[in-house]
Amino acid sequence: MQRLPILVFAFVALACASAPPVVKRAELPRGAELAVISFRDCTIAGQADCDGSGNVAASIFARVLATSMRFKAVPISRPVSPKEPLSDDAAVQLAREKGFEYVINGEVDDYYSVAPFTFRADRAGVSLRILRVSDGSVVAFFSQRVEANNLTTPDRLIEQMAEHVVKSL
């Protein structure tokens, strides 16, 4: 039983070390206020876990951003259906109408949870853009798909991605 915490720590360290970079085109100022629009649900045919995945991912990103003490983040409802694309222009317009400086628009690319102690892997994937509302420019973007043993969850994988994004900003 003593080895399990070590193995979990090793997995988390490996997952963080292998995360792709957050591509920054400009600095996001400390204290910036971000609207986090519910992400588009994953659209993998026949994968029931996809339903609702966009709300889950956006909520996780908003919480991690807000608790970082570097940013203010507020989740806002998606103005289109969960599986319908939302253009960055439409996301900027929605954030402008609500008085935000920045907006996160994104998609869940994969979201799959399996039962513990099976021989399949949990998966999660997100793609997102951080947009400046004043001019619609992309401040930063990030995309990652992760597969991990089933002693974790897709939510935890997304949380690790969000933590990586916050540390990179």
Residue 82 confidence (pLDDT)? 96
CA 153, CA 12: separation in Å to the nearest integer?
12
Residue 107: beta bridge partners? Answer: 40, 127
Question: Where are the chain's structural domains?
Answer: 3-168
As a whole number, mean pLDDT of residues 56-68 equals: 96
The whole model's pTM is what? 0.85
Q: Which token pair is 131?
A: 């947009």
| Averaged pLDDT of the chain | 88
Residue 106 confidence (pLDDT)? 98
As a whole number, mean pLDDT of residues 37-60 equals: 94
Reply yes or no on domain 3-168 having CATH 3.40.50: yes
